[in-house]
Structure formats: C-alpha cells, structure tokens
Amino acid sequence: MVETPRINKIPYGGDYNPEQWPEETWEEDMRLLKLAHIDIVTLNVFSWASLQSDDDVYHFEKLDKIMELVQKHGLNVCMATSTGAHPAWMARKHPDILRVDHSGMKHKFGARHNSCPNSPTYRKYAPALAAKLADRYKKYDNIAAWHISNEYGGECYCENCEKKFREWLRARYKTIEEVNRVWNTAFWGHTFYDFEDIVLPNLLSEHMDGGRTCFQGITLDYRRFNSESILNAYRLEYDAIHAITPDIPITTNLMGAYQPLDYQMWGKYMDFISWDNYPANDAPIESTAMRHDLMRGLKQGKPFALMEQTPSVTNWLPCNMLKRPGVMRLWSYQAVAHGADTVMFFQMKRSIGACEKYHGAVIDHAGHENTRVFREVAQLGAELDALGAQTLGARSDAKTAILFDWDNWWAVSCSAGPTVYLDYCDEVQRCYKALFDQNIPVDMIGVEDDLSRYDLVIAPVLYMVKTGYDEKIRSYVKSGGRFLTTFFSGYVDEHDLVTVGGYPGRLRDILGIWVEEEDALPADMHNHFRYQDKTYPASMLCDLLHTEGAEALAFYEEDFYAGMPVLTKNAFGKGFGYYVATRSSDEFYRQFLGEICKDSGIMPVMDTPDGVEVTRRVNEKGVFVFLLNHRDDDYTAVLPFGGANLLDGKNYKTGDTLILAGKDAAIVKLQ
C-alpha cells in the first residue's frame, strides 16, 4: 500500500471484522467509517474457520459480500490471508498442526498464532488458502496490499520440528564433527555421534526454569532455526500470492523489538514493512521512537506502515488506561515522523465477546459517532486528507547509526554470566535516548547494512562479532568513520564461541585496548569516574582494561581497579574507535555521545527541551521537520528555519515563534 498510487495520501484505516456482526449492521458501519475519513480496511484476519470447513471445502460467499460492500463504498483493502489461527476441525483431524511448547507440552486447539511452522498440514493448507484468496479477489482493483497471517511469533518443539532442526543443522554444518565443534560439546560430555542424537533445547533437555540454557550454541541455533521456520511458512504464502498478483505488495505485521524473530532477515522477504505499535501509556517516548526507527531500518530506510495501534485503549495490560485526548493523534504523527506512510488501527469496531471486547475501536459499543474517540479519529482523518501526498516516500537523512543485531540479542540474553541484569535492548535504548534527547536523527541498522553513509556508528554491547564484521568496522574507521562500542563487546564469534587472546577479540586493534576482566555489580553498587569535571556512575558491568594505543579519557575511582581506564578513544586510520567500559547514566551518554557527534559535524535537527521531539524526513517535494510536543504544557519554539506548518497552514520565517500546545504536533515544510 505504501507503493500503491491508488491511495495518493497516507492510507488511514485498520482491521475491520464485519463477519462478526449481522449483515444489517454493515451499511451503518460504512457510514461511520466514511465519516471518520477511513479509506482502507484490513479484512479477513481471522476467518480461516469460516473460509474452509474441511480438507477440500471452501466458502467465500461472505467474504465476496464484504468485498462488494467495501468496494461499493470506495474503501481500499489490506487483504489478510486468515492463517493466524487454524480452524478447530483442522486441529482435530490433523493434530500435527498443533504446537508443542517450551515445557514439552503438546497443545490442544485454542487461542491463536497456534500453528507449528513445520507442520505438513499447515504448510499445505495455509498457502493453499492464500492462493485461493489471491485468485478469487485478483479482479478487485481496490486491494492495496496483502497481509499474511498476523503477528507471527512464538516457537514450537514438536517432533516434526526436531526432525527439521536436524536437517537444518546438516545443511548448515555438513558434518556432525562441525556441529560438535561449534557447540563446544566436549563440555559436559555432550559429543554427538549422529544427527539423530540431537534434540531440541527446551525444558526437557538443555533449559532451566527462567529460560536459561546449559548450551548457548544449541539454543542460539534453535532460535535461528525457529525464526527461519516461521519465515519459511510466511514465504510459502508470499510465493503463492505473488505468483497470482505480482503487482500487489505483500507484508505481514511485525511487533517492533520482538526477540523470537530475526526481523532483519524477515525484512528481505517483505515488500514493505508494517508493524503494530502498542506502547503502554507510560512507555518512554524514546522507546517507541527507537522501535519505529528499528522497523524503518529493516528495509534500509524505506517508509513503513503503522499497521495497528489502538485508537484509545488496549485490553491486555494489567491496567488499561485510556489514551489521553490528543495522544492518539500525537503518536500517529510520531510514527509518520519516523518514516510511516500509513496510519492504521486495531480496530474499526469493538467486538461484543471474547478477550478483545474492551479493546479500543473507532466504532464503540455505543454504535454511533458521538464519542470522544470517534471525534479524535475523524479529526485526524480529515487532517491526513488535507496533508495528501506531501510526505509520502520521504526518508531520514541520519548521519548516525546504531547497530542492532538479533543474533547478538539472543547470545547476550543466554550468555550465562556475567550478570542477568544485562538486557541488550535496554542498553541499545540508552544510547538511542542520548541522541533522541538531542534531536539527533538515528538509523537503526543491521550487520549487513552499509556503514559508509554514516559519520558515527554506535554498536552497544557488541558481544558477538561475526566473522567479517570486524573487517567491515575496520575499513569504515580506517577511512574516517567514528565507531563506538560499550562493555562486554567482542567476546564471541557467530557460534557464541569465545575469541581467545584477550577481549574485545576481533575489535582489539580498532579500539586499542585489552579487557582483562569484567566485574558485575549488584543493582545497589556503583563505581564512579570523572569526565569533563563531572562525576558519573559506573554500574552493572565494569570492564577492567588496559590501553594498547588508545587514549584513556576517564578512570575508575574506586575499588581495586581505581585508576584503570573506563573511557577510551583510539585514533585508527583516519577515524576513531571509542570504548565505554561500563554502564553509566543517561546524563553521561548524552554528554559523551553529544560531544562525539559535535566532533563529527553531526547536528541536532533543532534544540528543544525534554519531551519535545523533532525529526526530519526528506523527499523530492522537500524537507519536512516534525515537531511533537509530548508534554502537557505549551511549548514555544523559536524556529531556526522558515517554512509552512502543513497541519494548520501557517507560514513562519526563520526566528519566528511557533507555539505548540501540549500533545500537539506540527509538520513544517522548509522553505
């Protein structure tokens, strides 16, 4: 849909489930959706049971009627394939479709997102249904996109998956000797003599309660295998649809920083990225911003779709607070500010039964337009109509990148030491926040992405350095790039095997340091260091390091390692390698990263107080600066540029004052 010229504006709409309602209510829904300026509906997300009642028995009459209805009313469609939950009869007749969980328990029919990705039944019937849908509805010119399944996720430990895991290992490692090497099975007498000896790592084998594993290598490979298994199931549907409607883009709705699936690999097989954004009401703004940037990065900065958000409230938090007036609009523009070209909701109409009956919707149980939520949705809809195509296709022009790597995330999370308090995502977010707070644009990139377009690359906790990645960093820094990494970096290779000869292993020459030990501190214990006349905390993990050519910028002040360097800078080729040997405070990261940006000539889009976010997107129509006031009170900006606020049509000259009320947003198109 991002690429469909038919909707030459930001598509606006979301999940619509008329099949859950009597037909006589449909026309009234249409009236209300029009009134709310909705122009796209996601149909057919969970209809497998009604579309297929036996192996060869399909029923499309109801969906035909729904398609006629929405077409008649000029709505575009994001057409789902319904395979996010299999029918009950299928589970009874073909139990191979049921998953086995981490504890080894075989599931019965129930819930959703419940199919084993390697089940022959699933792999047969899911693409078969997708093909039938594509074939039947290809004549409609209002299908803007295909939406495969729904929020893929989870894992399976069934016997079939176990068999497939062995095949996957054989293809990857060729010999059992190589498997033994990469898993270091000489430890605890785990030597495997045959691929048949290998079992899946869960509570019945390598895992302990709480998700810890005895064999990181096995668990790491299982995670790769599981992510790929689910991806392969998606690809079967993709191929089935693409063969029939090659011009309609295909997506599936992702979930941001979702650990089980390596979205960077998934992104390669999606025509555009779409994701579901459900931050808790008190989630830090930068955590949402980072996730948008992460999703944008999956396709090297190409605009993405906000596939779902709630218009008002979720149903699955312990306490589901309403989005305050203006927040839905603000967060919608936040998505656009970070690269979304589509704004959509879950859902159009609140269901009357089951677990989502109290989830927010455009049409509430009251059934009419006289609600706060409806009015807010309609107002945003009118604004997006007026905004038109201006921002479509615009990209970030960030000069700073933060590396995010799923393999590294998996490896850090099962590292078994030095501390359970280390959370990779959290560490990435700390660095992100430092830049976010200064309105310095960031691209979130993966290990395959090009580094040369950036002046600064930050790789927080780069624990796993895959073969060849050190070389990529090395040549980037040699030719003038600035590279920064933090504690617990360069320890292992892609198999989670330690690189011997001293940490940070393959990064040692680039950083000009040798890390001898690492000290894990309990939550209430801190060391300290002084930098630029200020004292900052050193917490959680403290690397004890020696410089080997790097300049030490700060030193630990306490404990037996007082006087050892904690912050280093190494001139390497034409560039620099920086190392932050501990976890410090937000204030520190802001100061230190801010300085490095300044040295690299990287400028904030604009200076604003905390709680006022600013981003920039650029397309052939111009440069767009998004101002988002997340605070409750007014914010008065003195604009360092002139331009027109596309949301209210007002024009500004450089130095003019723009007053942004609490929760308000502006999109200034620069002159």
DSSP state of 107: P
| Catalytic one of 228, 237, 286, 308 | 308
- Among ligand GLA, Zn ion, none, the one that 278 touches (CB under a kind-dependent 5 to 8 A) is ligand GLA
Q: How far is the CB of 555 from Zn ion (least distance, A)?
A: 53
**Chain Cα centroid distance, residue 364:** 29
* 334 lines the binding site for ligand GLA (CB under 6 A): no
Span from 45-53, 109-117, 178-186, 552-560 in contact with Zn ion (CB under 5 A): 109-117
- Among ligand GLA, Zn ion, none, the one that 276 touches (CB under a kind-dependent 5 to 8 A) is ligand GLA
Cβ-based nearer residue to Zn ion, 98 or 665: 98
Distance CA 479, CA 469 (A): 16
Beta bridge partners of 572: 575
- Among ligand GLA, Zn ion, none, the one that 206 touches (CB under a kind-dependent 5 to 8 A) is none
Interface with Zn ion in residues 117-156 (CB under 5 A)? 118, 156
Cβ-based nearer residue to ligand GLA, 77 or 637: 77
Q: Which of 19, 135, 356, 656 binds ligand GLA (CB under 6 A)?
A: 356
Per the structure block, which two tokens stand in for 476? Answer: 């980037």
Residue whose C-alpha is closest to residue 143's, from 67, 76, 81:
76
* 538 lines the binding site for Zn ion (CB under 5 A): no
Cβ-based nearer residue to ligand GLA, 149 or 489: 149
Q: Are 552 and 507 in contact (CB under 8 A)?
A: no
Q: Are 262 and 294 in contact (CB under 8 A)?
A: no
* 278 lines the binding site for ligand GLA (CB under 6 A): yes
Cβ-based nearer residue to Zn ion, 156 or 593: 156
Q: Which of 116, 257, 414, 550 binds Zn ion (CB under 5 A)?
A: 116
Q: How far is the CB of 257 from Zn ion (least distance, A)?
A: 25
Q: How far is the CB of 275 from ligand GLA (least distance, A)?
A: 9
* 314 lines the binding site for ligand GLA (CB under 6 A): yes
Distance CA 241, CA 83 (A): 13
Establish whether 151 is a catalytic residue.
yes
Residue 660, helix vs strand vs coil: strand
Residue 617, helix vs strand vs coil: strand
Please identify the residue of the shown chain whose CB is closest to the bound ligand GLA.
276
* 233 lines the binding site for Zn ion (CB under 5 A): no
* 346 lines the binding site for ligand GLA (CB under 6 A): yes
Cβ-based nearer residue to ligand GLA, 174 or 357: 357
| Catalytic one of 151, 206, 237, 383 | 151
Alpha-helical (H) ranges within 138-271 are 159-173, 176-183, 216-244, 263-267
Q: In what order do the strands lie in the sheet with 456-459?
A: 442-445, 400-403, 456-459, 482-486, 575-580, 565-572, 551-555
Establish whether 61 is a catalytic residue.
no
Strands (E), 603-646: 612-619, 622-629, 635-638, 643-645
Cβ-based nearer residue to Zn ion, 115 or 185: 115
Peptide bond into 303 cis (omega under 30): no
Q: Kindly tell me the sign of the dihedral angle through the C-alpha atoms of 251, 256, 258, 259.
A: positive
DSSP state of 102: T
* 150 lines the binding site for ligand GLA (CB under 6 A): yes
- Among ligand GLA, Zn ion, none, the one that 228 touches (CB under a kind-dependent 5 to 8 A) is none
Strands 400-403, 456-459: pairing is: parallel
| Interface map 561-600 toward ligand GLA (x if CB under 6 A) | ----------------------------------------
Q: How far is CA 49 from CA 112, 170, 219, 295, 468, in A?
A: 12, 37, 35, 31, 48
* 91 lines the binding site for Zn ion (CB under 5 A): no
Interface with Zn ion in residues 580-619 (CB under 5 A)? none
Q: How far is the CB of 157 from Zn ion (least distance, A)?
A: 7
Query: 31's torsion region: left (phi>0), alpha (psi -120 to 50) or beta?
Result: alpha
Distance CA 200, CA 161 (A): 8
Residue 399, helix vs strand vs coil: coil
Q: Are 12 and 35 in contact (CB under 8 A)?
A: no
Distance CA 607, CA 640 (A): 9
* 32 lines the binding site for Zn ion (CB under 5 A): no
- What is the size of the binding site for Zn ion (CB under 5 A)? 5
- What is the size of the binding site for ligand GLA (CB under 6 A)? 10
Where along the sequence are the contacts to ligand GLA (CB under 6 A)? 150-151, 253, 276, 278, 308, 314, 346, 356, 359
Catalytic residue numbers, as ranges? 151, 308
Where along the sequence are the contacts to Zn ion (CB under 5 A)? 116, 118, 156, 158, 161
